[in-house]
Chain A
Amino acid sequence: MTILSLSSLTKRFGRETALDGVDLSLAAGERVALLGHNGAGKSTLMKLVLGLIPASEGRIEVVGNAPGSAVARALTAYLPENVAFHPALTAREQIRHYLRRRDAPPARADGLSARGGLADAADRRFGTYSKGMRQRVGLAQALIGRPRLLILDEPTSGLDPVSRREFYALLDELAASGTAILLSSHALSEVETRTDRIVILSRGRKVAEGPLELLRAEAALPLTIQLRPRDGREGDLAAAFPDAVRRGAHLTLSCPPSEKMALMARLTGSGDTLADFDMLPPSLDDIYAHISRRAA
């Protein structure tokens, strides 16, 4: 079932085009990561989906409803980038207020605070909160009322690695119960491998879409191989691999994915000069940088 669909979505601010003809569709239970540099159009796309700003052209439907309509707002939850709350309120008061706004019993605030890992700090005012703690409250409010569509703008920024892992576990749970999740990030390495699909925006245009494996295969970036020679055989090894570059005690090679097997054969053939080797696949950030550069 399609929860969110965008077709030829365009947004212009004056003469500047922030979003240019973007098509996207999210099914129930799907986790999609939206990637792009600052100013690529991620937050603009989210604000359009939430109905906070009107589109210049194109269509948005949230389970068949116009964005920002009463029904769409009831179905959607949002975690803004750098989520903020009034410094004079406590987390418990704020969450109770959010519960009432969604016609949910305010008594559930304690459970939500505990789920967000806030039980001890729930009665302290926001003025004393760190960024990571505010982010947890933001996430807790987004879980109110089992939303059908969850929009998360850079949700993992400010979270430590352990919290980030817990956060993704929570997303898995929500997705399993049928919530469609659209989250944005600056970097591929931040969304980890726990999203079903990745969409990359560059200067307002969609430049890539697909599962991580597909993007990795399409980018066809070379692998990096580090060779460690046996003691005293550095010269022989360098002669056997003239295309390698010396880096400290190691020799470094790069190899396109298609020639990986041929290289393996050469490596096994030079057993007496080679002590050890490491094969490093291109990092997620390398792949992302490659796709962004190609688009530019």
Chain B
Amino acid sequence: MFMRILSTARIEFLIAFRNRWVAIAIAMMVLFSLVLSVAGSAPTGELGADRLSVTVASLTSLSVYLVPLLALLISFDTVAGEVERGTLPLHLTYPLGRGELLAGKLAAQLAVVTLAITLGYSVAAAVAVQIAGLSALDGLPALFRLVWTSALLGAVFLSLGHTMSCLARRPSSAAGMAIALWLVFIVLYDLGLLAAIVADDGGVFTQRVFPWLLVANPADAFRIFNLAASDAVGAASGLAGAASSVAAWKPLASLLTWPLLAALLSRLAFGRVQP
């Protein structure tokens, strides 16, 4: 079984490589990290935090937009594309379960996302060391934490992309649904919470419900976990107050639960696809 999943992952990675997705993902992450770490140095000034931690705080704000987008771009075609090309029926007659097929594809796409994240952040770290010297290396744990939480965030949105791909059946509508999903999770959700807080004016909602709603969204959980754990919280985020009011285990639990939940969702959606 493991060999079959591995073989599926290998062929999917090859396809991603040939379709330039690997190159596009890496270029995107490296370019944005580079711009952020070079241009982001001016306004932060002296914060008492090491240079790399400041960069990590900036990268967190970037990744919360970019990683889900990248993951959805890579994954929306996964099932819908196979349906449209007519390659799905043959796949499903092989001795490989639907769960295994999905797991193989997820593994390959997660490898692409993780590769892009790691390379991108490494470039940012190199720039930080270049500017501030070896003292910047104090921020390495923060950077490492950013890498693995970004990978988890990527896994969530890859599986959500698979779910959209199964529900839509056509690549074009899957792409539309993926973009809508991104807007809801990354932009509208926070705006909605903000509006609710303003309307509530410090009442029960703000005190009790809001912290839970905040960590219920994987993107917010990612942001809070990285910022709360960082020394340079104030440097890059308006969420600083909220982040410090939430215990660190809550966003972490959310970040660990979401990949499984999203993978389960995609498996259920794939089960309903009739080729």
Contacts and interface: CB of A to CB of B under 8 A. Distances in A.
Interface of A: 47, 50-53, 70, 73-74, 76-78, 80, 82-86, 88-89, 93-94, 97-98, 100-103, 138, 141
Given A53-B274, A74-B95, A103-B3, A88 B89 contact: no
26 contacts: A47-B89, A50-B89, A51-B93, A53-B274, A53-B275, A70-B97, A73-B94, A77-B93, A78-B93, A80-B86, A82-B86, A83-B86, A83-B90, A84-B86, A85-B87, A86-B85, A88-B18, A97-B8, A100-B7, A101-B7, A101-B94, A102-B94, A102-B95, A103-B3, A103-B95, A138-B90
Nearest to B86: A84
B93 A93 contact: no
B87 A70 contact: no
A153 to B, nearest CB: 9
Give chain A's interface secondary structure class.
mixed
Interface of B: 3-4, 7-8, 10-11, 14-15, 18-19, 85-87, 89-90, 92-97, 274-275
Contacts of A51: 93
Contacts of B95: 70, 73-74, 101-103
Contacts of B275: 47, 52-53
B95 to A, nearest CB: 5
Given A86-B85, A97-B7, A76 B93 contact: yes
A74 B93 CA distance: 9
B11 A89 contact: yes
Contact of A101 (B15, B18, B85, B96): B96
Contacts of B93: 50-52, 73, 76-78
Given A52-B93, A100-B3, A100-B7, 12 more contacts: A50-B89, A53-B274, A53-B275, A73-B95, A80-B86, A83-B90, A85-B87, A86-B87, A93-B11, A97-B8, A102-B94, A141-B90
A112 to B, nearest CB: 15
Q: Which 4 A-B pairs have the closest CB atoms?
A: A100-B7, A88-B18, A84-B86, A78-B93
